[in-house]
């Protein structure tokens, strides 16, 4: 089961990523744009996710994904770290969110990270 240190290590391994405390929690940013946070006492992550996809995720796996009330109008979803299968799944979730926030030139420079959701 991945934990907050795994989130930190994987997020910071993604190109041009920095960590910054905001709203009293760790946030991860690419080129200054936030793509992940560690809310709920670092037991979950919040990541970018197109609204259509996030609704499908929540319906398909409600024990793993949910939408925080204050994020309902935004393209973000939460994932419980304890419900993730392994670090590979965590990496895939973080990389997908990173691609959505990364400037096109940076995302294009790292094709090994794939295409953003919806593309």
Per-residue pLDDT tens digits for 45-99: 999 999 989 999 999 999 999 999 999 999 999 999 999 999 999 999 999 999 9
Look at strands 44-48 and 33-37 and give their pairing.
Answer: antiparallel
Report d(CA 77, CA 22) in Å as an integer: 18
The helix/strand/coil state of 1 is coil
Report d(CA 80, CA 1) in Å as an integer: 10
- pTM, full prediction: 0.92
On whether the CB atoms of residues 78 and 39 are closer than 8 A, the answer is yes
Task: Give me the percent of the chain exceeding a pLDDT of 90.
Answer: 88
pLDDT band of residue 40 (cuts 50, 70, 90) is confident
């Amino acid at each position: 089961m991945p934990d907050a240190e795994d989130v930190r290590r994987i997020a910071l391994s993604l190109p041009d990523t920095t960590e910054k405390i905001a709203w009293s929690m760790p946030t991860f940013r690419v080129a200054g744009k936030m793509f992940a946070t560690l809310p709920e006492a670092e037991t979950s992550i919040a990541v970018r996710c197109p609204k259509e996809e996030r609704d499908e995720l929540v319906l398909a796996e409600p024990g793993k994904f949910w939408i925080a009330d204050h994020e309902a109008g935004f393209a973000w979803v939460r994932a419980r770290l304890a419900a993730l299968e392994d670090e590979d799944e965590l990496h895939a979730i973080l990389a997908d969110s990173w691609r959505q926030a990364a400037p096109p030139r940076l995302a294009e420079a790292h094709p090994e990270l794939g295409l953003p959701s919806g593309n």
